[in-house]
Amino acid sequence: MKKKCSRLLSVLSGAAMLLTEIPVQPVSAAAQAEPKLIALTFDDGPNTTTTNDVLDVLEEYDAKASFFLIGVNITDESAKSVKRAYDMGMEIDNHSKTHSNMGGMAPEQIQEEIRYVDEQVYAITGEYPKFFRPPFIDTSDVMYDNIDLPFICGIDCQDYMENVTAQERADYILNGAKDGVIVLLHDAAGNSQTVEALKIAMPELAAQGYEFVTLTELFERQGETPKHGLLYSSVAKYPCAGYTLEESLSGDKDKITLDTAKLASLGEDYAIEVDYNGTANPPVIALQKWSGNPPIWQAIQPFYANGEKAVFLASDILPVLEQLGVTYADLDGISLTGYGTDPIELTNARLLVRGEPSDTLAGDVNADGTVSLTDLIMLQKWLHQSGKLTDAKAADLNGDNAADVFDLALLKRVLVG
């Protein structure tokens, strides 16, 4: 599967060039109490049989879902199933006209594959599709350049294989379920085992507190805007609203080594956040242990990644250590790094801790108990990448978990005041 794209991160220049921060919406207590969200999606319809059987199950649970249509399957009769789905609150999306591999197509062919389905869906519902799922999850730079819709993948439940039973399909759904996940299923004609799998999985998911939503609602309620050039299988909610800056992390552009002793001391109460640029794949945390048999090189995917920022929680890392039977002290190294062949640039990495900030004097970056011109000079040198901060927390004057030129401006105002 190719997932290549190019993106530029905006930079600020004053004394230094820094990555712009993505605004983070505060998470209220009410928002934290919301149900977990899961997006069921169905490919390869419409038809007059299985599509309606799926809709019957969704209706029983008052569930919303998204249907990705193949253009040549839309007929006068199957259009009635599409209209029924739309009237029930389902989202109708684009799965290409012919369900062909599109990675090698010319721009004109790609555009025709998309335009045909868009127009058919608009004729039935009065709305155009909002998302696209590439056939066979085959993507290319040319596709990203010629399809102005977010690309959706999802967890694979293997329900396109006849020898996978309804129970096994349900198990794939249940084992892959987590807040924000997208489930890839098929309502192709005759695929009755997926209908049975839904009857098994949906009551269990409902009992676990999941709410079934469309893709549009998933992005909106998770506080994320779909980005061009990414292929989404889940949409996590930014997890660090209750964290504060412990220290800024430094290293090479393609690798940042982490302090194992520091992480061990923080237990379950830390997160590692990093801005990245240059690849469709987010960075990973790599656990390395060269001694012993066999050696270890274990990649841990981030809990949250939005194409520019990735977050790793302690709860992502600790279970892997336990599974491998090692501790931080046993490792030869743990680092932030790229994964795959595409180049990556890591910038502005931060170690965050959960809970209220300690008694830190805002602006006292040299930790001498006062805020003075010395602090301003230290912060300015750090932004120039020619110095270090004694207290990174104190440098975060605007409370966005980063020390940047905005904090420098605030510190100047404090001193002038």
Distance separating alpha carbons of residues 294 and 291, to the nearest angstrom: 8
Residue 134 preceded by cis peptide, ω within 30? no
Sequence-separated (6 or more) residues with CB below 8 Å from residue 410 = 363, 397, 398
Q: What is the pLDDT of residues 222-246, one digit of tens each?
A: 999 999 889 999 999 999 988 999 9
CA nearest to 41, candidates 301, 165, 217: 217
CATH class belonging to 358-417: mainly alpha
Sequence-separated (6 or more) residues with CB below 8 Å from residue 416 = none
Give the number of other CB atoms < 10 A from CB of residue 353: 21
Distances (CA, A) of 184 to 9, 98, 137: 31, 19, 11
Q: What is the pLDDT of residues 83-126, one digit of tens each?
A: 999 999 999 999 999 999 999 999 999 999 999 999 999 999 99
SS3 letters across 57-125: HHHHCCCCCEEEECHHHCCCCHHHHHHHHHHCCCEEEECCCCCCCCCCCCHHHHHHHHHHHHHHHHHHH
Q: Which member of 118, 159, 186, 404 is catalytic?
A: 186
Provide the 8-state DSSP code for 153: -
Supply φ then ψ for residue 50, to 5 degrees: -60, -40
Distance separating alpha carbons of residues 276 and 307, to the nearest angstrom: 8
Fold that domain 36-232 belongs to in CATH: TIM Barrel (3.20.20)
Contact 338, 344 (CB under 8 A): yes
**Active site (annotated) includes residue 171:** no
Going from N- to C-terminal start, the domains of the chain cover: 36-232, 240-356, 358-417
State the CATH architecture for 240-356.
Answer: Sandwich (2.60)
CB burial of residue 94 (10 Å; 0-12, 13-18, 19+): buried
Q: Which member of 43, 159, 364, 407 is catalytic?
A: 43
Contact 187, 47 (CB under 8 A): yes
**Active site (annotated) includes residue 384:** no
- End-to-end C-alpha distance for the chain, whole angstroms: 56
Distance separating alpha carbons of residues 177 and 139, to the nearest angstrom: 25
Q: What is the pLDDT along the chain (417 residues), one digit of tens a residue?
A: 433 333 222 222 222 222 222 233 333 333 344 689 999 999 999 999 999 999 999 999 999 999 999 999 999 999 999 999 999 999 999 999 999 999 999 999 999 999 999 999 999 999 999 999 999 999 999 999 999 999 999 999 999 999 999 999 999 999 999 999 999 999 999 999 999 999 999 999 999 999 999 999 999 999 999 998 899 999 999 999 889 999 999 999 999 999 999 999 999 999 999 999 976 789 999 999 998 788 999 999 999 999 999 999 999 999 999 999 999 999 999 999 998 777 889 989 999 999 765 556 788 877 766 788 888 888 888 787 766 777 777 888 777 777 888 888 888 877 876
Strands 231-232, 151-152: pairing kind: parallel
| Measured torsion, CA atoms of residues 348, 149, 301, 398, in degrees rounded to the nearest 10 | 30
